[in-house]
């Protein structure tokens, strides 16, 4: 790879950090992501909700949550244990 650098953050081009070439500028993936967030208003709350949505629960925790919303059906809820 050559010694090209991102025109926004000056990150050097590498195999791990490829650059997108424009007519007279380059941009790295991190700057593309940052620009997307600026343009489309992605908030930190959305990022946090993503992390919370991907939490792995134990079978007992799942049954406890089911107990809050599902009345009865104990045999079906035991499947998680």
37 and 4 inside one domain = yes
69 pLDDT tier (thresholds 50, 70, 90): confident
Q: What is the pTM of this model?
A: 0.47
32 and 67 share a domain? no
Tell whether 1 and 34 lie within a shared domain.
Answer: yes
Which helix (H) or strand (E) is 31 found in, with range? Answer: helix 29-40
Number of domains composing the chain: 2
> Which of 33, 5, 8 minimizes the C-alpha distance to 19?
5
Q: Which structural domain range is residue 11 located in?
A: 1-42
| Cβ-based neighbours of 66, under 8 Å, separated by 6 or more | 77, 80
For the segment 40-60, the average pLDDT, to the nearest whole number, is 67
Do residues 14 and 38 both lie within one domain?
yes
Same domain flag for 16 and 35: yes
Average pLDDT, the chain: 79
* More confident position, 73 or 23: 23
**8, 33, 23, 26: CA torsion to nearest 10:** 40
Check whether 44 has a pLDDT greater than 80.
no
């Amino acid at each position: 790879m050559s010694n090209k650098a991102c025109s926004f953050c000056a990150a050097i081009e590498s195999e791990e950090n490829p650059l997108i070439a424009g007519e007279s500028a380059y941009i790295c993936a991190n700057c593309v992501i940052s620009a997307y967030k600026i343009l489309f208003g992605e908030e930190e709350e959305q990022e946090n909700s993503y992390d919370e949505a991907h939490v792995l629960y134990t079978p007992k925790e799942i049954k406890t949550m089911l107990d809050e919303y599902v009345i009865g059906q104990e045999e079906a809820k035991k499947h998680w244990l």
